[in-house]
Amino acid sequence: MTNFVPTPTVPAPDIVRCAYMEIVVTDLAKSRAFYVDVLGLHVTEEDENNIYLRSLEEFIHHNLVLRKGPIAAVAAFAYRVKSPAEVDAAEAYYQELGCRTERRKEGFTKGVGDSVRVEDPLGFPYEFFYDVEHVERLTQRYDLYSAGELVRLDHFNQVTPDVPRGRKYLEDLGFRVSEDIQDSDGVTYAVWMHRKQTVHDTALTGGNGPRMHHIAFATHEKHNIIQICDKMGALRISDRIERGPGRHGVSNAFYLYILDPDGHRIEIYTQDYYTGDPDNPVVTWDVHDNQRRDWWGNPVVPSWYTEASLVLDLDGKPQPVVVREEKSEMAVTVGADGFSYTRKDGAPEGDRTGFKLGAQL
């Protein structure tokens, strides 16, 4: 039985959105070439050990920090909270949970002030902050706008062995569920959770963890993603395209997954939907539905299920990876044609009467 994280008696911090990720890279020059020259993220500032990057529409100092280090890993999943008092609330919340916390009034990265970092109950390094340096929002800098422009940070995706445990913990923290994947035995394989009014600020993917599955940046249109594919092809780095482009069933978004020089996974993402109403319906997908991960029914490459980035504790050491005990999504779907479907119960082509998503909404 799942060992659920207890609910603290103190209020959860009021989280606004996912705001930035700090990742450790082993070759700063190669990573700069990838994130700046290929993907077009904008440099706020940089030094010999760090590069601070932001997307076109961002006004806070950065959405991504590249920090040079010996082991490729993730140092922080950072969320902005609603006020300075909510940083105090975050510290009190995790201290009651018995988690290790570290508070720095000067912040952990340039451009960000008073912050608290925690080793959360799932083993992830979370950060909560409010104070931040404002920079130029580049929304109308069309002279800088590229054909594959990344306009905002959209979400994180975390790999954890026990998805129901993580779901309950994040719901206590104030996240709401938009979609999930289950089977008829009640096993949950993944869940999408949000604070801002989109499909997710983070997702939990069932697997060996804690690890970082991906960080996602949004574009305005599908053609921006296609341009990124064309550019990577022209640069002869198409081997870094892991999956896509395609259309997700879950979230409905158009997607592309690519790998940076260290193997960190980045999703380029566009056209999901609004989730802000209090009675926004939760969409549950059958794990055997061929269209849950790719709306066009394309198979998922095994590496997408098995590969992910290590995460660090507050001392900068990799967290140990715990093996998932429940069934894996890859094991029950990849290559298992007898267990998957496009139309349930042998329905003829064009018959949508048993169509799961439409029936729920």
Residue 153 resides in a domain: yes
Residue 199 CA from chain centroid, whole number: 11
- pLDDT tens digits, one per residue of 28-78: 999 999 999 999 999 999 999 999 999 999 999 999 999 999 999 999 999
Q: Give the C-alpha separation, 186 to 84, whole Å.
A: 40
What value does the mean pLDDT of the chain take? Answer: 94
**Sorting pLDDT into bands at 50, 70 and 90, what band is 346?**
low
- pLDDT at residue number 360: 45
Residue 233 belongs to a domain: yes
Nearest Cα neighbor of 17 from 218, 166, 163, 219 is 218
Amino acid letter, 304: W
pLDDT at 122 over 70: yes
Q: Is residue 139 part of a domain?
A: yes
The pLDDT value recorded for residue 63 is 99
The per-residue pLDDT for 341 is: 76
Of 269-273, 286-290, 349-353, which gets the smallest average pLDDT?
A: 349-353
CB 36, CB 43: distance < 8 Å: yes
Residue 319 lies in a domain: no
The pLDDT tens digits for 233-264 are 999 999 999 999 999 999 999 999 999 999 99
Helix, strand and coil percent figures for the chain, each rounded to 5:
20, 35, 45
pLDDT tens across 91-109, in order?
999 999 999 999 999 999 9
| pTM (predicted TM-score) | 0.95
Tokens 């499909």 sit at which residue?
199
Cβ atoms within 10 Å, residue 183: 17
Task: Please report, rounded to a whole number, the percentage of residues in the chain having pLDDT higher than 70.
Answer: 93
- Would you say the C-alpha torsion 244, 208, 25, 201 has a positive or negative sign? positive
- Is 330 a member of any domain? no
339 or 274: which carries more pLDDT confidence? 274
In this prediction, residue 333 carries a pLDDT of 87
Q: Does 286 reside within a domain? A: yes
* 79 pLDDT above the threshold of 60: yes
Q: DSSP E strands: which ranges in 143-187?
A: 152-160, 176-182
Residues 6 or more apart whose Cβ sits within 8 Å of residue 6:
97
Whole-number pLDDT of residue 361: 39
Domain containing residue 106: 15-310
> How many residues make up the chain in this entry?
361
Q: Which residue has the higher pLDDT, 353 or 281?
A: 281
| Res. 353 pLDDT band, cuts 50 70 90 | low
- In this predicted structure, the answer to whether residue 336 has a pLDDT above a threshold of 60 is no
Q: Give domain status of residue 65, yes or no.
A: yes
CATH number at residue 279: 3.10.180.10
pLDDT band at 357 (very low <50, low <70, confident <90, very high): very low
Per-residue pLDDT band for 343 (boundaries 50, 70, 90) equals confident
Average pLDDT over residues 202-220: 98
Q: What are phi and psi of 336, to 5 degrees?
A: -95, 70
pLDDT at 359: 37
Q: Is the pLDDT of residue 358 over 60?
A: no
Query: What whole-number distance in Å separates Cα of residue 351 and Cα of residue 344?
Result: 10
Residue 161 inside a domain? The answer is yes
Q: Which one has a higher pLDDT value, 352 or 148?
A: 148
Q: Domains in the chain: how many in total? A: 1
Q: What is the pLDDT of residue 340?
A: 78
Given this model, what pLDDT does residue 337 score? 53
